[in-house]
Amino acid sequence: MTVTIDDRCTACGMCLVTCPERALLPRPKRPLVVDALCTGCLACVEVCPRDAVTEAGPSALRSGRVAGSVGVARTVGSVGAVGAVGMAP
């Protein structure tokens, strides 16, 4: 299980400081989620003041909005949204 971060994100950083696994990488518009580190605890979902962070469920996986591979970082709703960890989107 992992999470997605959509266009409602204001990059406030609440999810970054809340994530116990450090599975979110800071970016100017919104953090990237590192699937390989995300344990699905949903702490980031609970703390987001804009409800921009949501659980990536089966419907998101079927629609192709979420990259399901281990070691992939991504956000939803921007150009270049899917990229390998360590590479610029």
Query: What is the rounded CA–CA span in Å between residue 89 and residue 78?
Result: 10
Residue 75 pLDDT > 60: no
At 9-51, the pLDDT tens digits run: 999 999 999 999 999 999 999 999 999 999 999 999 999 999 9
Average pLDDT, the chain: 77
The better pLDDT of the pair 38, 70 is held by: 38
Domain boundaries, the chain: 2-84
Question: Comparing C-alpha atoms, which of 89, 17, 79, 82 is closest to residue 47?
Answer: 17
Q: What per-residue confidence (pLDDT) applies to 58?
A: 61
In words, the CATH class of domain 2-84 is alpha beta
Q: Where are the beta strands (DSSP E) in 1-89?
A: 2-5, 24-25, 32-34, 53-56, 72-74, 82-84
